[in-house]
Amino acid sequence: MHDARLLLDPDANAAAKLRRRGYVLDTDHLGKLVSRRSSVISEGDQARAESKKAAAEVGAAAKRGEDVTELRERARELKNRIGRLEEEQREVEAELTEFLLGVPNIPLDEIPDGATEEFAEEVRRVGEPPEFGFEPQDHVDLGERAGFLDLTRATKLSGPRFAVFKNAGSRLQRALAQFFLDIHTGEHGYTEFSLPSLVTRPTMTGTGQLPKFEEDLFRTGVADRELFLIPTAEVPLVNLHAGEILPLEDLPLRYTAHTPCFRSEAGSYGKDTRGLIRQHEFSKVELVQFVEEERSREALEEILAHAETPLRRLGLPYRVIKLAAGDTGFTAQITFDIEVWLPSQGTYREISSASDTGAFQARRANIRGKGKDGKRAQIATLNASGLPIGRTLVALLENNQQADGSIRIPEALVPYTRFEVINPDGSTS
């Protein structure tokens, strides 16, 4: 959540910067809310001062034996006025908070203009797409023919956009998750967490999923308890420190978790309906960092490199792009997408996003920093997928398929799968 004063500061040029991402900041309405809040606070302070003075006058007059009826009436009127002003202050602050919660992060100047992926800036390509002497199959045909992927039964159980795996498919998913976690905890210095998949409304608000994206979330509850299924482990990982003051000497904090993720994919029906690209439920290893705000851009390069490492180890060809302002997510001030090559589609598709949210999430979740010397600092949060299990599996199957329908397992993953090949009949060897 933004500082309203910064949004209204002409030197900050926030309104123009937000227009780059297609958001029109209503500075007139915001200015009126801020002015009204300041006025109510000032009036309340004045009324409390007058009330204190009136109470003293009542006490002094009573000691002198004077009639204090009028003075007491005046004191009651002031107390009633204070109550009305406090209620008005709560109302205007709630309205201001609601307004600010709907304002997206301000994009950095370095990201390109534009509203879609076609305006993204390609940063690098790693690896060469494989050349096949046959027509490559997609992951659905490969998985269903070998019997380790069953989308029909998944639809029977839960409806569309779910998947059932068995045998080699299940083992491959488990192996990928362990492979990712071992890299990030053992080599990159992340602390692994096991987390709840159900969180509260304030938790979702802290990382920016609410109130704007409520239609994209799965919500549940028992009696009067309202809970949301997490769309990513970023939500509970960031909010582990909600309302806390982090010692600056402990930074950076690097956290990771492997969790299920749940997304309604509202507004995306008709897109990627075949296979595992866009599911209501999937699992993912997430990376989150907490750093001092002035270090966030440097930390973004680091977390991006961490997300790329598993792809390099698996030998999967990919590219990195810097998203345009209008295509950057609500909470991010800059985002790099990692896109992996999918032979069946003949193109690169997103497999990870690495984002620097600056102080945006930390302000919403009330996360602050303080040094031993008393120095206070603004905290920044960063996140990246490191990586999603399903989309990585898609890329692995398609890029490593053989002419006979078998799939070779990358050498780095064999110690985790304990097999080198998935045969056309689904057996392993």
Considering only residues 381 and 224, tell me which one the structure prediction assigns the higher pLDDT.
381
User: For residues 116 and 327, what is the distance between their CA atoms, to the nearest angstrom?
Assistant: 5
Q: Is the model's pLDDT at 267 over the cut of 90? A: no
294 is in an annotated binding site: no
Calculate Rg over the CA atoms of the chain: 27
Average of per-residue pLDDT values in the chain? 95
pLDDT over threshold 70, residue 32: yes
Contact of 327 with 20, CB cutoff 8 Å:
no
Q: Which residues are catalytic?
A: 263, 278, 350, 353, 391
Within 124-187, residue ranges assigned H as helices are 139-146, 151-158, 168-186
350 is in an annotated binding site: yes
Mean local confidence (pLDDT), 254-270: 84
What does the buried/exposed string (b/e) look like for 43-67 if buried means 16 or more CB atoms within 10 Å of the residue's CB?
bbeebbebbeebeebbeeeeeeeee
CB 205 within 8 A of CB 97: no
Find the helix or strand (DSSP H, E) in which 395 lies.
helix 389-399
Q: pLDDT band for 70, please (50, 70, 90 cuts).
A: confident
Query: Looking at residues 248-261, what average pLDDT do you find?
Result: 98
Which pairing describes strands 191-193 and 253-262: parallel, antiparallel, or unpaired?
A: parallel
Does the pLDDT value for residue 179 go beyond 70?
Answer: yes
Average of pLDDT values for 246-255? 97
pLDDT for res 100 = 97
Rounded to whole angstroms, the Cα distance separating 310 from 176 reads 9
pLDDT recorded at residue 274: 82
Annotated ligand binding at 385? The verdict is yes
| 232 has binding-site annotation | yes
Q: Is 121 annotated as a binding residue?
A: no
Amino acid letter, 412: A
Question: Is 427 marked within a binding site?
Answer: no
Measure the CA angle with vertex 53, ends 47 and 55; round to 5°. Answer: 100
Token pair recorded at residue 18:
């937000």
Return the number of other C-beta atoms located less than 10 Å from residue 236's C-beta.
Answer: 25
Task: Give the pLDDT confidence of 77-88 residue by residue, as tens digits.
Answer: 999 999 999 999
Closest CA to 314 of 407, 404, 400: 400
234 is in an annotated binding site: yes
Determine whether the annotation assigns residue 308 to a binding site.
Answer: no
In whole angstroms, give the CA distance from residue 322 to residue 255. Answer: 24
Euclidean distance between CA atoms 210 and 237, whole angstroms: 16
Residue 283 in marked binding region: no
CB 404 within 8 A of CB 424: yes
DSSP string of 171-228, one letter each residue: HHHHHHHHHHHHHHHHTS-PEEE---SEE-HHHHHHTT-TTTTGGGS-EEEETTEEEE
Question: Is there a contact between 275 and 150 (Cβ–Cβ < 8 Å)?
Answer: no
pLDDT band for 67, please (50, 70, 90 cuts).
confident
pLDDT of amino acid 266: 63
Strands (E), 307-412: 318-322, 334-342, 347-356, 368-370, 376-388, 407-408
Residue 268 has pLDDT above 80, yes or no: no
Is 383 among the annotated ligand-binding positions? yes
Q: Is 361 helix (H, G, I), strand (E, B) or coil?
A: helix
The string of pLDDT tens digits covering residues 291-340 is 999 999 999 999 999 999 999 999 999 999 999 999 999 999 999 999 99
Domains of the chain: 4-102 (1.10.287.40), 117-422 (3.30.930.10)
Do 325 and 124 touch, CB atoms closer than 8 A? no
- Report CA 287 to chain centroid distance, whole Å: 11
Across the range 190-198, mean pLDDT stands at 98
Share of the chain above pLDDT 70, in %: 98
Is the pTM higher than 0.85? The answer reads yes
Higher local confidence (pLDDT), 355 or 72: 355
CB 255, CB 291: distance < 8 Å: no
Banded pLDDT at 68 (limits 50, 70, 90): confident
Rounded CA-CA distance 141/162 in Å is 16
Report whether 152 contacts 164 (CB < 8 A): no
69 is in an annotated binding site: no
Rounded alpha-carbon distances, angstroms, from residue 226 to 181, 195, 202, 218, 305: 31, 18, 11, 11, 37
Q: Quick one: average pLDDT of 257-276? A: 80
Percent of the chain with pLDDT over 90: 91
pLDDT band at 1 (very low <50, low <70, confident <90, very high): confident
Q: Are 105 and 330 in contact (CB under 8 A)?
A: yes
Q: Is residue 11 pLDDT above 90, yes or no? A: yes
